[in-house]
Chain A
């Protein structure tokens, strides 16, 4: 297992194309994500960033007229050929742009995924829920009211609840899709700190249109523009005075976009 992960990058995407009906939004993107790195995907809205994430855990299938081509490998296995798509999705934690508290109690929100895969032992669930909420930096605020509704939490708390839920199925990859657009800067900074800690155990794919967030967190950054990769390099290189592409320089320095 360990040997395998040294020979393969954790995620390998090759010539990925995504189309919705007749409109192609991702035009052949290739990239690798290594184990235990924070990999940022930056680019303006509508450039295909979220579609890429949906291909990783195959939730693109739920969109009626969406089609993907090319290959996506997670941990050396083509996602189209996995035995159980549910196990694939459990390997990848997904955090959506807008916080989604399920209409359940805080405890049930986090326990939903473990229960869905058959874990019903009370003690194990208790321990797991506490660990996930701690990892998401939410435990101290909600430990006395785990039975109140997740949907009644504030936006920032709900986003951390979403992260706790994404961690509850013990993924090895955590994907965040513009997690900070609906929350305040203080909460954003708290979550960024959480991500830096999680990096020791997890691989993080961070989709963001806040370029400074990518600069603060990412080891490597990929700049996507209109469904194509403009530049993929170490974050330092992307944000240096001389990235390979003039477009990258203009974008990260706020000259356009």
Chain B
């Protein structure tokens, strides 16, 4: 009774093999990640302190902290989020809920997907041409944020559409059947049940914007700018600013005799900022999912 057949044996072997291979793939992804983070923190350790965060770079960026770069990144990310999130989410709502399926909307959807794959340096050149030169904004936080917004928009639109179309069509039909308009259906049923997915997509784009160097290099980020340390209103949106990613690039390639720990410490701060944003996104998603109602 219940003896293993030849087929059973080979099935068991395949099962074992699949488990090992898949597990190894996960390990090959996780282990380097922890090695990188561990190495960065170890090298940066002598410099890491609250003081490092809240003081400006000094001595040709060989000493001091990274306050002006950190604040610059926060400005860029916040402003680009304020521009891209409403436009992206509302555009996605239109495309998913209102637009009829025609050749025109199909072209728009195709364009969105393709724009998401455009390299960031191309967005940078577009931002330089469109915002800095043509619109006459000049190199500034505003121009750089607009460029970052343009870069993140397509992905925000695509991920929002994904979240919206995960809401079952039967919910919408039920609402239409009782005489609710499209907007009432969207506000009452569709948005509350897709908000967790929408926010996840938006916040992941925030962390991407924080890490990009190319789009801000041409449009508003500078090597060095002196601002009041510890004052979060030290920049105006018409100013040029420093940014973490740009700062890291500068001190590793341009400043030859900076202390060894400095670029590592900058990298840790940049990484920490991105990880904090991602953690926020995960937390928000867990919270909103727990309120999901089907």
- Chain A: residues with CB nearer than 8 A to chain B? 57, 59, 62, 64-65, 86-90, 93-94, 96, 98, 100-104, 112-113, 116-117, 149, 151, 162, 165-166, 168-169
Closest Cβ neighbor of B193 among chain A residues: A103
Docked pose: A57 CA to B181 CA in angstroms:
13
Cβ contact within 8 Å between B181 and A100: no
Docked pose: A99 CA to B294 CA in angstroms:
13
Cβ distance B198 to chain A, nearest Cβ, rounded Å: 16
Cβ proximity bits B187-221 to A, threshold 8 Å, 1 near / 0 not: 01100110000000000000000000000000000
Closest Cβ neighbor of B171 among chain A residues: A102
- Enumerate chain B residues within 8 angstroms of A62, measured Cβ to Cβ: 172-173, 176
The 4 closest A-B pairs by CB, nearest first: A103-B293, A113-B178, A90-B179, A94-B177
- Enumerate chain A residues within 8 angstroms of B176, measured Cβ to Cβ: 59, 62, 89
Docked pose: A96 CA to B172 CA in angstroms:
12
What are 13 pairs between A and B in contact, CB < 8 Å?
A59-B176, A86-B180, A86-B181, A88-B179, A89-B177, A94-B178, A96-B177, A103-B193, A113-B178, A116-B178, A116-B180, A151-B293, A169-B178
- Enumerate chain B residues within 8 angstroms of A113, measured Cβ to Cβ: 178-180
Cβ contact within 8 Å between B178 and A166: yes
Cβ contact within 8 Å between A168 and B173: no
Docked pose: A168 CA to B179 CA in angstroms:
11
Docked pose: A96 CA to B101 CA in angstroms:
24
- Chain B: residues with CB nearer than 8 A to chain A? 100-101, 170-181, 184, 188-189, 192-193, 292-294
Docked pose: A149 CA to B175 CA in angstroms:
17
Cβ contact within 8 Å between A112 and B178: yes
Cβ distance A72 to chain B, nearest Cβ, rounded Å: 16
Docked pose: A151 CA to B292 CA in angstroms:
11
Knowing A116-B184, A116-B188, the reply to whether A103 touches B171 (Cβ < 8 A) is yes
- Enumerate chain A residues within 8 angstroms of B193, measured Cβ to Cβ: 103
Docked pose: A87 CA to B294 CA in angstroms:
29
Contact among B171, B180, B184, B188 with A100 in the assembled complex (CB-CB below 8 Å)? B171
Cβ contact within 8 Å between B170 and A96: yes
12 further A-B contacts with Cβ under 8 Å, apart from A98-B170, A103-B293, A165-B178, are: A57-B177, A62-B172, A62-B176, A86-B179, A94-B177, A96-B170, A96-B177, A102-B175, A102-B189, A149-B293, A168-B178, A169-B178
Cβ distance B264 to chain A, nearest Cβ, rounded Å: 48
Cβ contact within 8 Å between B179 and A89: yes
Docked pose: A101 CA to B294 CA in angstroms:
9
- Enumerate chain B residues within 8 angstroms of A96, measured Cβ to Cβ: 170, 173-174, 177
Cβ contact within 8 Å between B173 and A89: no
Closest Cβ neighbor of A86 among chain B residues: B179
Knowing A65-B101, A103-B193, A104-B293, the reply to whether A59 touches B179 (Cβ < 8 A) is no
- Enumerate chain A residues within 8 angstroms of B171, measured Cβ to Cβ: 100, 102-103
Cβ contact within 8 Å between B101 and A162: no
Cβ distance B189 to chain A, nearest Cβ, rounded Å: 6
Cβ distance A212 to chain B, nearest Cβ, rounded Å: 27
- Enumerate chain A residues within 8 angstroms of B180, measured Cβ to Cβ: 86, 112-113, 116
Docked pose: A96 CA to B292 CA in angstroms:
23
Cβ distance B275 to chain A, nearest Cβ, rounded Å: 32
Contact among A64, A89, A103, A117 with B294 in the assembled complex (CB-CB below 8 Å)? A103
- Enumerate chain A residues within 8 angstroms of B178, measured Cβ to Cβ: 89-90, 93-94, 112-113, 116, 165-166, 168-169
- Enumerate chain A residues within 8 angstroms of B184, measured Cβ to Cβ: 116
Docked pose: A64 CA to B97 CA in angstroms:
12
Docked pose: A96 CA to B169 CA in angstroms:
12
- Enumerate chain A residues within 8 angstroms of B293, measured Cβ to Cβ: 103-104, 149, 151
- Enumerate chain A residues within 8 angstroms of B188, measured Cβ to Cβ: 112, 116
Docked pose: A104 CA to B180 CA in angstroms:
15
- Enumerate chain A residues within 8 angstroms of B292, measured Cβ to Cβ: 103
- Enumerate chain A residues within 8 angstroms of B172, measured Cβ to Cβ: 62
Contact among A64, A117, A165 with B174 in the assembled complex (CB-CB below 8 Å)? A165
- Enumerate chain B residues within 8 angstroms of A94, measured Cβ to Cβ: 177-178
Closest Cβ neighbor of A151 among chain B residues: B294
Closest Cβ neighbor of A58 among chain B residues: B176
Docked pose: A88 CA to B179 CA in angstroms:
8
Closest Cβ neighbor of B176 among chain A residues: A59
- Enumerate chain B residues within 8 angstroms of A88, measured Cβ to Cβ: 179
Cβ distance B152 to chain A, nearest Cβ, rounded Å: 29
Contact among B101, B175, B179, B181 with A64 in the assembled complex (CB-CB below 8 Å)? B101
Knowing A103-B189, A103-B292, A103-B294, the reply to whether A59 touches B181 (Cβ < 8 A) is no
Cβ distance B79 to chain A, nearest Cβ, rounded Å: 35
Docked pose: A108 CA to B172 CA in angstroms:
15
Cβ contact within 8 Å between A87 and B179: yes
Cβ contact within 8 Å between B189 and A59: no
